[in-house]
Amino acid sequence: MSRRRLPRWAIVLAGLALFFLAARFTGCDLALLWERRGHLTDILGQMFPPDWKFLPRVLSPLWATVQMSVTGTVLGSLFALALAPLCAANLSAPPALRVLLRALVQLARTFPALILALAATFLFGIGPFAGTAAITVYTFAIMTRLTCDDAQSASTAAYRALLAMGTPPYRAFFRAVFPGVASTYLTNALYLLETNVRHSAILGYVGAGGVGLLLNEKISWREYSRVGMILLGLFLAVCLIESLSAWLTGLVTGRRRSSPALRRIIVVALAALFLFCTATVGAPDFSRASLRTVRAMLAGLVRPDWAFFFQTDAGGLGWLLLETVCIALAGTAIGAVISLPLAILGSGRIMPRPVALLGRTVCMAIRSVPFLVYGLIFIRATGPGAFTGVLTVALCSVGLLSKRFIQAIDTVDLRAELALAAMGATRLARIRHALLPQLAPAFGAAVLYRFDVNIRDASVLGLVGAGGIGAPLVFAMNHYNWPTAGAICIGLVVLVWLIDLLSARLQGGAKA
């Protein structure tokens, strides 16, 4: 590469400076957290043992949560598959259509599932249908982007050969390009199924069905033993889905052998599960929706409140967005630092088996709790404000980053580490000099991706009073104040777009 690179110390220094600025801006105060740690341990103590008598009341909303994520993930992935060939630049789709579709997908990708769900409740009424619609749109946006990127990097020689024989482009895509990207497509869909279970668990908060409503109610009534029961249920559901997904991923990528008969049985079983989940979602309730609402929502997007958009003082849009970014930045950084040792503890290749199993279980427990719940619990200790948001984002990032880190460690080449071991280097020295340098690119990519997602997540933290843009957005939507909601949405779109550009640049730099 001929591009001049900044020296390493300058990058590290700039990163640290950014982190401290973000931490200052969000009022991070670890002393305060330590001082009030008693509140947290109190709540934890009350959660365990959980209230087992409450279990029967948990099952039905828990099932609704799983149902929303299964139906939403499958539908969203199918729509994405249908539209991805129209978005890929190397396939023969009309350029105008491609630009339009890409813009729509980018727009949909901006909004967190919770905001989509809130919007959906205005159209489809309160209940799981709205939640399913939100998860569908959310999955669709991400899967279209991923599948399109895969198709763009796939070989098109066979596709062009089929076109030259007079095959219509759509058929040529499914027969010549899709077989090459199918396994990544399915792996992505399975990964989204896992994350969607966590997303659906909080949708009840805005009335979109599932376990979220119950969870919110029990936390506000401070019935922590019941909260503990709900969280335990969620933990088990997430364990189940993650192991199912891991098993299926093994089959899809060919790491696990399977006979055609077994594969057929699995496909039929999964199709039956999907159809059952979809058939029992429940009909939408259109009584709240009207053409006027839809028109008002669109009008808000087209004619937003520009005065609010360009307001520069505290409480203005720019300030709130900056706070959201700072929450995501500080939270992701803290989360990454904590994840590193946790991932090393959780890797069966470095640590003895029992230690690794314990490490992995802790990581899974952390990520099975919906992030708004962390917000609601931290708020009891640190009070409303951006610091609570930072802690929430940090803890969430620990759960998800440690998983990515462990996956990276599990696939890394260990020969350099063995060579150092043969020379008598200590375990810590081997990790520092043989493993971390090899893992740095994968870790960097995972942290960047998490930061990207955290900005979206941080934009709903305001809902529980944990700072950022979420509170004014939800407030505006619930009061039908569409011009303000429109201004915030446009601000979010611009912000996410800028971050996308930046992260693409950084990733390009990391690869160079």
Partner 1 sequence: MYLELNGVSKTYNGRVHALDGVSFAVERGQFVSVIGPSGAGKTTLVRLLNGSERCDAGQIVLDGAHLENARGGALRAIQKRLGTIYQDFALVENVSALQNVLNAALPDMGALPALAGSFGRQRRQQALGLLERVGLAGKADEPVRELSGGQKQRVAIARALMRSPALLLADEPVASLDPVTGRQILELMKDIQRTEGVTVLMNSHNLDFARQFSDRLIGLNGGRLVYDGPADADEDTLAAVYAGKAAP
Contacts to partner 1 by CB under 8 A: 155, 157-158, 160-168, 170-172, 174-176, 179-180
Q: Which residue reads 């998490």 in tokens? A: 450
Q: Is the dihedral of CA 133, 271, 140, 253 positive or negative?
A: positive
Evaluated on CA atoms 367, 368, 372, 377, the torsion sign reads negative
Would you give the DSSP letter of residue 453?
H
Q: How far is CA 281 from CA 63, 80, 127, 128, 272, in A?
A: 10, 21, 9, 6, 14
Six token digits for residue 241: 């889905």
Q: How far apart are CA 151 and CA 85, in angstroms?
A: 7
Distances, alpha carbon 1 to alpha carbons 4, 440, 508, 511, in Å: 8, 20, 11, 10
Nearest-approach distance from CB 93 to partner 1, in angstroms: 15
Q: How is residue 280 written in tokens?
A: 């029992």
Smallest distance from the beta carbon of 87 to partner 1, in angstroms?
A: 19
Q: Write out 17-39 in H/E/C secondary structure.
A: HHHHHHHHHCCCCHHHHHHCHHH
Which residue, 62 or 172, has its beta carbon nearer to partner 1? 172
Measured distance CA(489)–CA(481) in Å, rounded: 12
Closer by beta carbon to partner 1, 46 or else 187: 187
Q: Which is nearer to partner 1, 166 or 354 (CB)?
A: 166
Pinpoint the alpha helices (H) of 414-481: 415-422, 427-430, 436-458, 470-478
Question: Closest separation between CB of residue 101 and partner 1, Å?
Answer: 20
Q: Pick the closer one to partner 1 by CB: 168 or 354.
A: 168
Nearer to partner 1, 185 or 309 (CB): 185
Instruction: Round to whole Å and give the CA distance between 444 and 423.
Output: 29
Q: How far is the CB of 182 from partner 1 (least distance, A)?
A: 8
State the nearest-atom distance from the C-beta of 250 to partner 1, in Å. 17
Cβ atoms of 374 and 44 closer than 8 Å: no
Q: Which is nearer to partner 1, 82 or 236 (CB)?
A: 82
Nearer Cβ to partner 1 (124/185): 185
**Alpha carbon distances (Å) from 205 to 370, 410, 424:** 11, 37, 55
User: What burial class does residue 411 get, using C-beta atoms within 10 Å of its C-beta: 0-12 exposed, 13-18 middle, 19+ buried?
Assistant: exposed
Q: How far is the CB of 156 from partner 1 (least distance, A)?
A: 9
Q: Are 112 and 459 in contact (CB under 8 A)?
A: yes
Smaller CB distance to partner 1: residue 58 or 163? 163
- 257-to-187, 243, 253, 261 alpha-carbon distances in Å: 16, 17, 10, 12
Q: Which is nearer to partner 1, 163 or 342 (CB)?
A: 163
Which segments of 214-293 are extended strands (E)?
A: none
Nearer Cβ to partner 1 (181/203) = 181
Residue 261 vs 428, nearer CB to partner 1: 261
- Among residues 275 and 294, whose Cβ is nearest to partner 1? 275
Sign of CA dihedral 335, 339, 340, 341: positive
d(CA 59, CA 70): 16
Letter string b/e over residues 412-434, b meaning 16 or more CB atoms within 10 A of that residue's CB: beeeebeebeeeebeeeebbeeb
Q: Rounded to the nearest whole angstrom, what is the least distance from the CB of residue 157 to partner 1 in the complex?
A: 4
